[in-house]
Amino acid sequence: MSVKITLDLPEETWERVEKLAQLHGKQPFIFIKECIEKLAKENSYYEEINKKLSDIASNYRGSLEKWNREDLYD
């Protein structure tokens, strides 16, 4: 099953996408689709790594938590 989406891009971004797609020998919409699919696969890799790190941390009674710079100075 496929999901259709609509994008609202600035004209200069669309022109850049068209040029990049042409350099890759693809239609712009196919180029965008492949870029999104690649990004999704890369993110699943990082999710997998994060899961493994969380498992390691929990085995040593630790945890992985998000923090920001201000938290370091509390």
State whether residue 63 is helix, strand or coil. coil
CA 71 from chain centre, in angstroms, equals 26
Question: Is residue 6 domain-resident?
Answer: no
Question: Is residue 38 domain-resident?
Answer: yes
Side-chain half-sphere CA neighbours of 59 within 13 A = 6
Q: Which domain holds residue 46?
A: 12-73
Instruction: Report pLDDT digits (tens) over 16-56.
Output: 999 999 999 999 999 999 999 988 887 777 788 888 888 88
| Number of structural domains found in the chain | 1
Question: Is residue 25 domain-resident?
Answer: yes
Question: Is residue 23 domain-resident?
Answer: yes
pLDDT at 63 over 70: no
End-to-end C-alpha distance for the chain, whole angstroms: 49
8-12, 33-37, 55-59, 70-74: range with lowest mean pLDDT: 70-74
For the full predicted model, state whether its pTM sits above 0.85: no
Instruction: For 3, list phi and psi in degrees, rounded to 5.
Output: -115, 130
Question: Is residue 28 domain-resident?
Answer: yes
